[in-house]
Amino acid sequence: MSMNLGGGRGSRRAPMAEINVTPLVDVMLVLLIIFMITAPLLVSGVPVDLPDSRAGALKQDNTPVQLSLDRDGKLFIDEQAIAPDDLAAKLTAIREARAADEPRVYVRADSSLDYGRVMRIVGEVNAAGFGKVALVSEGTGEPSSGREQPNDE
């Protein structure tokens, strides 16, 4: 049996025409895992002790406006502290700046706050012209009763 080892003068090696995608897939999977782990950590906000709820999570289409009421009753839009008297003017300015996409407003209130105080804030948001208002709560881990609708008002 003879074997051609390709060492002769007339033999040429054919170019390798295959692309090895295994390293690309490995890198992409690692990046996907990193982003899946770090994305929830990037949500910043005011630390608030949220009440529990069995409602499902909301689908997010665009960047929402987050209103937060902490344990002391201080009011924040995103992370910026504001006076309660300035809330209507700030919300009107935000609505006019984002008139094209009608942003959703997330109201996050500490569970120890008075219900009436939270509802006054929701009323201010509604009076400012926002139609998509959601009350944020922490899930209990139990599935809802077959219904997955947001807590919109």
Per the domain annotation, does 147 fall within a domain?
A: no
Note down the domain range covering 78.
Answer: 44-139
- Is 3 domain-assigned? no
Residue 153 counted as domain residue: no
Residue 107: give its domain's CATH number.
Answer: 3.30.420.270
**Least confident interval from 1-5, 39-43, 81-85:** 1-5
Tell me the whole-structure pTM to 2 decimals: 0.52
Q: What is the sign of the dihedral through the CA atoms of 84, 63, 40 and 111?
A: positive
| Counted domains in the chain | 1
11 found inside a domain: no
Contact 92, 128 (CB under 8 A): yes
- Buried b / exposed e along 27-45 (16+ C-beta atoms within 10 A): eeeeeeeeeeeeeeeeeee
Is residue 28 in a domain? Answer: no
Given pLDDT bands bounded at 50, 70 and 90, which one contains residue 93? confident
Question: What whole-number distance in Å separates Cα of residue 18 and Cα of residue 47?
Answer: 53
Residue 7 within a domain: no
Q: Does a structural domain hold residue 21?
A: no
- Residue 125 located in a structural domain: yes
pLDDT, residue 144, reads 45
